[in-house]
Amino acid sequence: MAFGYVTYKNFAPVNSIASDLTDSEGCGLKLDGEGEVSLAVTTGSVPYAIVAVGATSITGSYPGAPIAGSLEVIDQLGVAVQVRASDAGSIAAGDYIQIDSSASVPGSFTANNAPTAGDFVWGMALTDCSADEQFILRFAPFIAA
């Protein structure tokens, strides 16, 4: 996947992942507690990062510690990052992007240009795509008013 001009390992320690993040590249993550992340699955999930390289836990049980150095995320605000569109429909450049709470792939994104007050918008689409494809997102989260 292409991640704009920056790909790096998160400097804040992620000590625990709530589920297997293998094959979750391009999906949204939320922070569950200090050092623990999980896939964002609702529009109320507070944006934390985008999965660049997924990981599994050391023991294979969850929540659990990820294999050292295996989880890479993009959490820098303003970065252009390639993300996964949900199966809900197409995305157009300029659309506001949210987590699709009914998606078959947890953590994938959908367009919503009229978000409900209090829901989180993860940023704006910079490219078009069809359902279940990838597009470029400007990662700039905010709370809809």
Is residue 11 in some structural domain? no
pLDDT in tens, 11-36: 567 889 999 999 999 999 999 988 89
Residues 93 and 115 in one domain: yes
pLDDT at 5: 46
Tell me, what's the pLDDT at 34?
Answer: 85
**What is the dihedral angle through the alpha carbons of 22, 30, 102, 8, rounded to the nearest 10 degrees?**
-50
Does residue 5 sit within a domain? no
Question: Measured between alpha carbons, how far is 74 from 100 in angstroms, rounded to an integer?
Answer: 19
Q: What is the pLDDT of residue 3?
A: 47
Does residue 95 sit in the same domain as residue 139?
yes
Supply the pLDDT for residue 11: 55
Q: Are residues 93 and 123 in the same domain?
A: yes
7 is a domain residue: no
Co-location of 137 and 106 in the same domain: yes
Q: Tell how far CA 136 is from the center of its chain.
A: 12
Whole-model pTM: value is 0.89
pLDDT at 90: 97
CA angle, corner 103, sides to 99 and 108, nearest 5? 45
Same domain, 52 and 96: no
Q: What is the 3-state secondary structure (H, E, C) of 36-61?
A: EEEECCCCCCCEEEEEEECCCECCCC
- Report if residue 49 sits inside a domain: yes
Q: How far apart are CA 57 and CA 96, in angstroms?
A: 33
Task: Give just the sign of the alpha carbon dihedral 83, 88, 93, 98.
Answer: negative
Residues of the chain with pLDDT under 50: 1-9
Provide the domain limits for residue 64.
Answer: 16-74
Would you say the C-alpha torsion 54, 95, 92, 103 has a positive or negative sign? Answer: positive
- At residue 35, the pLDDT reads 86
